[in-house]
Structure 1
Amino acid sequence: MKSLKKQRRIQVIALAAVALVVSTALIGYAMRDGINFFRAPSQVMAEPPAPTEVFRIGGLVEEGTLERGQGETVRFRVTDGGASVPVTYTGVLPDLFDEGQGMVGTGRYINGTFEASEILAKHDESYMPREVVDALKEQGVYKDPKGGS
């Protein structure tokens, strides 16, 4: 009788372990397309990602590089002070998007140009994404709008 209880307990534990492994694998599979890593322009230029990899890039829109093309296509360069990356975007830009302002774009790096599928701009005069601030601080070009470091 004891061996039957012991055998049943082992079966339940084994079944629970298999269910845990299967559920973890399913969650990982579902999230594979939803994870976008952040890269600064210096990181992109130092180690260009594969054309199939979707990632986020952020920094400041370089002064004098904003070109509005035909239709909704826009070209500009994003910089972190150490390097700059050309960006193309087809769509409507956020209202607060401008030269010298912080931005984050999602897309792919293809043939030396970041082709953005989404562009986000800061939403008030003091906001900038944390990743962009960290990248700018690493390059030594970040200026705190509140007067700090």
Structure 2
Amino acid sequence: MRNAWARPGLQLTLCGLAGLLFTTELIVSELLTNAIHYGRPLVELRLIGHDVLVGEVTESNSTQPCMRRARTTDEGGRGLFLVAQLGARWGCRHSQNGKTIWSKQLVSWSVPASRGGSCWDQRTNLTTARTGSTPQSPSSGTGPIG
């Protein structure tokens, strides 16, 4: 996950949102883990900074995610619960080719007013194999928008 996180983490810092790094990384890692575990090889991570910070993970599995309450002895089942607790809202939208799971966080912008509270739209495609290897990120972001 570290390779997938490098560029978006830098973008958050450049936009004055370093205070959201830990929470955003945790939310995104939970969404990515689910996509890699349950989906098929191509996964896309997208972070959008505007009035809110939106993290989206798009993958090819069309099954609706289900938040559950894990028992203390369960090894898994806490991911979407964490996403729901840390973000302001979360949800799922379906498409012809799969689904996008998203999470929104409220932000207080400290970027220059000339940017109008809009920071970027960052996409990273992650190609993963079902071998347990770390996803590789070609960093295909569109960069800052202003």
Instruction: Give the alignment's TM-score, normalised by structure 1.
Output: 0.23
Q: Which has the higher contact order (CA 8 A, sep 6+)?
A: 2
Instruction: Give the alignment's TM-score, normalised by structure 2.
Output: 0.24
The structure whose Rg is larger is 1
